[in-house]
Structure 1
């Protein structure tokens, strides 16, 4: 098969190719609503405890009932391929067809809903902690999309506290993360080299901070208390809308229209950068599929064309995108807004499944590709953000990076 040949060729290519970091691949336009589910969350960055099931779901909107196949690969801390053989981290087989799918029921948009759960009869277990990538292929061995996920062992305790920035120049705009890693079960050998950390704000790997070194050792504790290196821009509370009932206006929806499918026109948003901070509870960029009517939301929630608009003067050298976890924070043509000179607004529309969505507007430099998350919404130290900290460990002579601890905190209790 083509994908098997591709992986074989990887080992024959130059070392420069082998050490390249892997990136997620965004899906084509007919694949939507990619979610990882657990007992409590949906759509977020999947960080699973070793032994917990992995559940991946997505919709295919082409009404072909296509066959899709999944491949799972293990990676190092820095997302370069690990040297582990497949049998070392996976019990059973991958490269198998996703067997569970259902067709939509009583919806204007026809789609098939696919569900993959691991373990299953073919892939019985994932054996190692660390970084993983799951890739979905179609029947022609073409890569449809890929998503990262992490599996951790509960070996160390990870304490996380959110502080105001210690840099007075940005004290009103940034938040800093302090970490304490403690354990009685591992004697860390040379922690400056063997311990690596990853700090993630609001499940967004694009803005994560990685590989901070412990500054102090106090008994069995590693202390991280940086002034600037662990600081994130505070951002602002996410904008949101809800269209769980497609036949009437909901939260954030100004009016609706029925064409081939329902169209939801959101209220026009404004630039918040220079306005005072206002607390407005959100779900930190995430989304939740919901529908007012229907028993099985997976196949009875409909798709609507959501129209976004932003009152903003035209930017000649920059693009504006709609940003959120609905597409894993990807910057792609589907999220790009176009300036309407007649209305004086940036506008775009996206086909999204019914639900509750967080989003924000971000600016991307056309020449450099640099992303400015706070250019439209602003940055405020008061903003409530979620922070996840992952701790990796590779002992002397070990062959892969174990993910040995996971901690989480919210800036709702931010302190000086």
Structure 2
């Protein structure tokens, strides 16, 4: 009898311990995983790489087009086309990697929804599409993951980690449901020219067939330029509310509320390492990894607008000699050079999709006063890239691309508008409207 009671207590203790583990938030699981008490990185609700071996992260809507990788990771609730995540892990063998989805509010904080409310499946997915690189000097493993279908619209954070809980990367995704109608148009030029030239975007939200209780305070709008999150503008209330028309009007009069037009992006092409592509001055095949020297650049702050083809800061991986860029694209050390007669009033970075628009140590440029130039280098996969040279005046100030790139009303840019609403009695912000606008489309 005593032995039976002890066994029952032991089983209860095990069940109690397991239930505690299952309820631990994802952040705490990640921090408590691994051997010993070594702390893991805390989960960040943004596009972020946690481990230095992860490179070339790409998320997009797979429409089947040749340039589908340029699509942002945005899909409708019908999910006619899947969202795809791809990335490389350098100098490592294939591993079983785990993916989870976290539903988030408009401000990228986790919502209060249960996983069963936004997923049809158990929230634990393994990446099964795994390939080793082929004939590359820098070995890597290429991972490809098809995002599972979800039940609700809104913001989603895709979390990739090792089986033990070690975080590798996070990627933001959007799922919208057009229950309201968003219409946008270009505004008239506003403010001075030069590097301060800005591009006004105006839009309306029609909610005729969707019940919004208090639209003046409960509807949130986010405006992005070229799908960037680093400088996205959050609009907490409309400029005008037209109750009779059930229409919200958004018009902006202050320069701070408008995006600078900037200039068309600088570009280089390393899809072939046998000859110099666009923007490439020299390729050294004797080094390992291969070294690519780009043509020296200069400030465009005082230059007139030049219409150059670009892909709005994004990138396309590829290898023109040996098949697929996914596993045949090699990595090369790319050397950047920017001529500058005087040192800029702050730190200078290389920015673009190539570093997730995040100024960090790997993209910091160093100034040589004797030669009058900035130089920097980044390890990048073969491909066609767009980029800017960016000034960051100090640690707390926002980045300023216009310092070196100038700004023009005529520049071609893509804007997208995100409309969020939390219905009464619910526990999460839903993405109820989405619209894209091509500014000065050629």
TM over 0.5, shorter chain: yes
Q: Name the counterpart of 1:109.
A: 138
Q: Name the counterpart of 1:81.
A: 110
| Ranges in structure 2 where 5+ consecutive residues have no aligned partner | 1-17, 30-42
Any conservation in 1 of the 2:195–2:406 contact (CA below 8 Å)? no
For the residues of structure 2 that align with 1:94 and 1:203, how far apart are their CA atoms? 27
Question: What's the Cα RMSD here?
Answer: 2.5
Which deviations, in whole Å up to 9, do the C-alpha atoms of 1:36-71 show, x marking residues without a partner?
Answer: 132243155411111422210000111322332212
Shift of 1:183: 4.0
Which deviations, in whole Å up to 9, do the C-alpha atoms of 1:292-312 show, x marking residues without a partner?
Answer: 123333111222211111012
For the residues of structure 1 that align with 2:122 and 2:393, how far apart are their CA atoms? 43
Q: Secondary structure at the match of 1:375?
A: helix
Which deviations, in whole Å up to 9, do the C-alpha atoms of 1:80-136 show, x marking residues without a partner?
Answer: 2211011111111233331210001122221110011122xxxxx311111111111
Shift of 1:284: 0.7
Which residue of 311, 331, 347 maps to 1:319?
Answer: 347
Moved more, 170-179 or 249-258: 170-179
Any conservation in 1 of the 2:318–2:324 contact (CA below 8 Å)? no
Which deviations, in whole Å up to 9, do the C-alpha atoms of 1:155-205 show, x marking residues without a partner?
Answer: 222112222444468896111110111244213221112211110001111
Change in CA separation of 1:92 and 1:279 when aligned onto 2, cut-off 3 Å: same
Q: Secondary structure at the match of 1:237?
A: coil
For the residues of structure 1 that align with 2:252 and 2:377, how far apart are their CA atoms? 41
Q: Secondary structure at the match of 1:206?
A: coil
Any conservation in 1 of the 2:262–2:401 contact (CA below 8 Å)? yes
Q: How does 1:16-31 map to 2 (within 5 A)?
A: 22-31=45-54
Q: Secondary structure at the match of 2:440?
A: helix
Q: Name the counterpart of 1:65.
A: 94
Structure 1 position 288 matched with structure 2 position 316: yes
Shift of 1:241: 0.6
Q: Name the counterpart of 1:126.
A: 150
More strand by share: 1
Moved more, 357-366 or 389-398: 389-398
Q: Name the counterpart of 2:26.
A: 7
Structure 1 position 180 matched with structure 2 position 204: yes
For the residues of structure 2 that align with 1:289 and 1:8, how far apart are their CA atoms? 32
For the residues of structure 2 that align with 1:243 and 1:294, how far apart are their CA atoms? 13
Shift of 1:4: 7.1
Q: Name the counterpart of 1:347.
A: 375
Q: Name the counterpart of 2:274.
A: 247
For the residues of structure 1 that align with 2:395 and 2:266, how far apart are their CA atoms? 28
Q: Secondary structure at the match of 2:354?
A: helix
Moved more, 368-377 or 318-327: 368-377
Which residue of 124, 148, 161 maps to 1:95?
Answer: 124
Q: Name the counterpart of 2:247.
A: 221
Q: Name the counterpart of 1:16.
A: none
TM-score by length of 1: 0.89
Any conservation in 1 of the 2:271–2:319 contact (CA below 8 Å)? yes
Which deviations, in whole Å up to 9, do the C-alpha atoms of 1:352-408 show, x marking residues without a partner?
Answer: 111110000001123434311211111111111110001112223222111111111
Between the two structures, name the one with larger relative contact order (CA 8 Å, sep ≥ 6). 1
Q: Name the counterpart of 1:386.
A: 414
Change in CA separation of 1:339 and 1:171 when aligned onto 2, cut-off 3 Å: closer
| Ranges in structure 1 where 5+ consecutive residues have no aligned partner | 11-19, 120-124
